[in-house]
Amino acid sequence: MHHYRISGWTLEAEMALPHLFPCPAPETPPDIRLRLGAVPPPLAPLRLERDMVAVGADGAVVIDAPGCVRIAITDGRNVVVDPAPGAALAEVQSWLLGPGLGVICHQRGAIPLHACAIGTLGGAGALAIAGHSGAGKSTTAAALVRRGHRLLGDDVLVIDPDTALAQPCFPVVRLWDRSRAALEIGQEGHQPVARKAGKWHVPMPAAFDPMPRPLTAIVHLRTDPAAHRPALTRCAPAHAAAVLDAMTYRVYLAEALHGRLRVLRAAAGLAQRVPVWQMVRTTDFADLPEMLDMLEGLAMA
């Protein structure tokens, strides 16, 4: 068996998952068990079928990525993985640690943000960078790591709404070719992300911080073709709650499993505890150094 920590939970797995942070076998039963096996279809009538994810009538979820893997997740605790013949392990992990982790969070009642998290250099706090796909979250996080900050995770971020603690996820970021070029990151040891041409898993184990940290700020990052330089503005509490609701990772899973009210309450509670900012950036990386200076100012505040 292999043992890992992910998003504050212990995971016992029958297969090696090299993108995760290993840990000793726990003395108590693991929070999540992963085994290899056949995955039956979800129980009809379906509550949801979207983006290769189906939620059955009993709340169990099946992820079906043709030619790669089928994954069944029950109660946020039991995971069954059925890789396709010849499927690359990196692709399987892309589905497990993206949509699969999102399903686990929502089934367990945790509210994940579509965000990266960075531990501040020389401090105990953390900065979350949220945004839709393509906003530049991972590029920004990797650039902050290159300035000496610590990585807590990429893409799916679990935050305790009562304590504002950000839970470390895994020591890998996902970068497009143009992001690697902008950051002058080489190709050694990188693996493709779920057959997305030009996007790669970039391991950063030396920069990973496995300890949870309290958030000092959440930044909603978005691009604007009309922007000539980055701009940072603080969101009023009501707007902040709406931003966090919108930035919840695959929020439609929460709607299918529990309804939207839990997400709305968590977003409102977190917005009361942590400042939420909006950063508008240009559509290229010319403004990246100025962006990083602004974010470091928030992180150090």
What phi and psi, each to the nearest 5 degrees, are found at residue 222?
-150, 155
SS3 164: coil
Q: Is the pLDDT of residue 195 over 80?
A: no
Instruction: Determine the Cα–Cα distance for residues 219 and 170; give it in Å rounded to an integer.
Output: 20
Please report, for residues 90, 236, 241, the alpha-carbon distance to residue 194 in angstroms, rounded to integers and kept in the order given: 7, 38, 32
Q: Could you report the per-residue pLDDT of 240-297, keeping only the tens digit for each?
A: 999 999 999 999 999 999 888 999 999 999 999 999 999 999 888 888 899 999 998 8
Average pLDDT, the chain: 92
Q: Once rounded to an integer, what is the mean pLDDT over residues 149-177?
A: 92
Q: Which of 272, 93, 246 is nearest to 169 (CA)?
A: 93
Q: Could you report the per-residue pLDDT of 94-120, keeping only the tens digit for each?
A: 999 999 999 999 999 998 999 999 998
User: Which DSSP state fits 169?
Assistant: -
pLDDT of the residue at 211: 94
Q: Could you report the per-residue pLDDT of 264-279, keeping only the tens digit for each?
A: 999 999 999 999 999 9
Q: Could you report the per-residue pLDDT of 17-41, keeping only the tens digit for each?
A: 999 999 998 889 999 999 999 999 9
pLDDT of the residue at 92: 93
